[in-house]
Amino acid sequence: MKQNEITPHLFRTEYSKIVAVLCKTFQLKNIEIAEDIASETFLKASESWAVHGIPENPTAWLYAVAKNKAKDYFKHFAVFETQVQKAIKPGGIEAECDFEFTNQNIADSQLAMIFLVCNPINSAGAQICLALQILCGFSIEEIANAFLTKTETIKKRLQRARNNLRNDNFQIKSLSQPEIKLRLNTVLKTLYLLFNEGYFSKTNNLPIRKELCLEAIRLTLTLTENILTNTPQTNALLALMYFQSSRLDARTNEKGEAILFNEQNKNLWDKWLIEKGNNYLINACNGNEVSKYHLEAAIAYWHTTPTEKNKWQHILQLYNQLILIEYSPIAMLNRVFAYAKVYGHKKAITEAEKLNLTDSNYYHGLLGYLYAGTDIEKAISHYQHAIKLTTSKIEKQTLTKEIELLKLKKDKKTI
């Protein structure tokens, strides 16, 4: 991998880990100090690697530089005491405090930070935005995509949330059991969105970003290892992630083009991941709780069961329950797709058009699919609308391919 490829990749995967470990190790109340040290680390990497080449273990190189920069920063603590005293725990901090970027330390630090950033002083939406930026390394554009809103709105939300944390005397500390329970739902939503950005990516023209899926699974798996966070919802979310991940290799071809569900090679589905999903879904069913994660995990389960003839009836019923728990345009459109599988495309078109989601590329893409068998002109028109509305290069390519296939079909009929 070339430097112009590996540096952004490592920034995505390691920046937030460095910030979390530094905040936890040095008990920082001011997150910006850790962010500055992490940024300086990557700046040094881009300068050094351009001259000397990429080191054999670039991740270890980054951790070593971050560690040294952190220790240097606090070594000069006496000089900057008047500026820094307010940003560290009472009584100061030892400049020679030693720490390592071990896998366990990173996992512990990231989870501690996610729970602390998910502070009820901010709205639930602002908590998630902040966690996605600080702990998951999301750009403002990626957060805007996740919330289906404008980047300016997200900028203002993040600024207010950071100010609120600062004014609330933010510090790394152990949370009580009630505090953990109060914040768990927001933490789960953050990890859910992290996984979704990997699974349905709209950034950098990549349809799938496996490293984000793996990161979300790793952090959610850590939650199941703690008695306070090993809840039915956590297990249901982890089951969903495993089921969805089982189909990652089948969702794109060797050219990186998206492959629709109906056209996927089921031999490429990972049976081990499906089995893991089954295990965690069973764990999630201990008790009477039914959350959106339970329903989405069950839907994903039926998707990985290709031989069950009644699976679309099950999926439709689950979507009917899901939209009662948490309505969303995407869930409604997915429900219409399942409805088409059960009752046919003609009835599904009526269901879809009731939604009138004319500003959604998914809406037009679905109608294009539904009309393809009966009205090629309408199908092409909807696909063209979808192309205009999406910003994803991969989605544009997939939709364009569908239009070309319909035109070939039309030409054959006129011969």
pLDDT at 92: 47
* pLDDT for the residue numbered 95: 46
pLDDT per residue over 169-223, tens digit each? 666 667 788 888 899 999 999 899 889 888 876 665 555 678 888 888 988 998 9
Q: When comparing pLDDT for 233 and 74, which is higher? A: 233
Q: Band of the pLDDT at 287, cuts 50, 70, 90? A: confident
Which of 171, 296, 290 minimizes the C-alpha distance to 242?
296
Higher local confidence (pLDDT), 168 or 321: 321
Instruction: Please name every residue paired with 258 in a beta bridge, in sequence order, or none if there are none.
Output: 252
| pLDDT value of position 409 | 82
How far is Cα 29 from Cα 137, in angstroms, rounded to an integer? 19
pLDDT at residue number 369: 95
Greater model confidence, 222 or 166: 222
Alpha-carbon distance 249 to 320, whole Å?
29
Residue 258, φ and ψ in degrees, nearest 5: -70, 140
pLDDT of residue 135: 76
pLDDT (0 to 100) of residue 61: 94
Question: For the segment 337-373, what is each residue's pLDDT rounded down to a tens digit?
Answer: 999 999 999 999 999 999 999 999 999 999 999 999 9
> Residue 97: pLDDT band by 50, 70, 90 thresholds?
low
- Residues 226-255, mean pLDDT to the nearest whole number: 91
pLDDT band at 94 (very low <50, low <70, confident <90, very high): very low
d(CA 173, CA 169): 11
| Residue 322 CB partners (closer than 8 Å, separation 6+) | 292, 295, 296, 299, 331, 335
- List the domain boundaries for the chain: 312-415
pLDDT on residue 184 = 93
The confidence score (pLDDT) of residue 319 equals 97
pLDDT > 90: what percent of the chain? Answer: 43
Q: Which amino acid is at 381?
A: S
- Res 96 pLDDT > 60: no
**Confidence band, pLDDT 50/70/90 cuts, at residue 233:** very high
| Range of weakest confidence among 42-56, 175-189, 255-269, 300-314 | 255-269
Mean per-residue pLDDT over the chain, rounded: 85
Domain 312-415 sits in CATH at 1.25.40.10
Round to whole Å and give the CA distance between 206 and 196.
Answer: 13
Query: CB atoms < 10 A from the CB of 320, how many?
Result: 13
Q: Looking at residues 5-24, what average pLDDT do you find?
A: 80
